[in-house]
């Protein structure tokens, strides 16, 4: 495992941990964004669950590499769907989900290297 992979995994884990907590707490910025794309804010805590699970998976991946790869793959799927939801809702504020998607892809790319 390279230093770049270590850094990318830790950054992705930290970002997704923050995002999961924001979902669990239903922070106003997140609620507003969800309302713009037509997602009921009552399901916000449910959106935090896969992110929190992925954080655990990313960290377990340091010991069991395929678990980290699976967690990153799950995050790629999650954030592709998030970007699609924003575009479907005609919300062009997709910087955050695209950033999270890029981090997940970076974990996969650096895991292969």
Residue 109 has pLDDT above 80, yes or no: yes
Q: pTM of the full predicted structure?
A: 0.92
Instruction: Locate the domains of the chain by residue range.
Output: 3-112
- Distance in angstroms (rounded) separating the CA atoms of residues 53 and 47: 11
Provide the pLDDT for residue 92: 80
Overall average pLDDT of the 14-18 stretch: 98
pLDDT at 1 over 80: no
Q: Compute the average pLDDT of residues 99-112.
A: 96
Distance CA 32, CA 38 (A): 10
Per residue in 37-54, pLDDT (tens digit) is 888 989 999 999 999 999
Residues 6 or more apart from 11 whose CB is under 8 A from it?
A: 103
Residues 6+ positions from 17 with CB-CB distance below 8 Å: 51, 52, 55
């Amino acid at each position: 495992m390279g230093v770049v992979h270590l850094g990318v995994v830790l950054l992705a884990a930290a970002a997704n941990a923050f995002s999961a907590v924001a979902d669990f707490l239903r922070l106003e910025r997140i609620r507003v964004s969800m309302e713009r794309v037509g997602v009921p804010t009552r399901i916000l805590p449910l959106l935090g669950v896969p992110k929190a699970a992925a954080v655990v998976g990313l960290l377990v991946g340091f010991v069991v590499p395929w678990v980290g790869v699976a967690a990153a793959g799950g995050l790629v799927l999650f954030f592709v769907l998030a970007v699609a939801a924003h575009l479907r809702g005609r919300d062009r504020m997709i910087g955050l989900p695209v950033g999270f998607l890029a981090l997940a892809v970076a974990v996969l790319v650096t895991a292969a290297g």
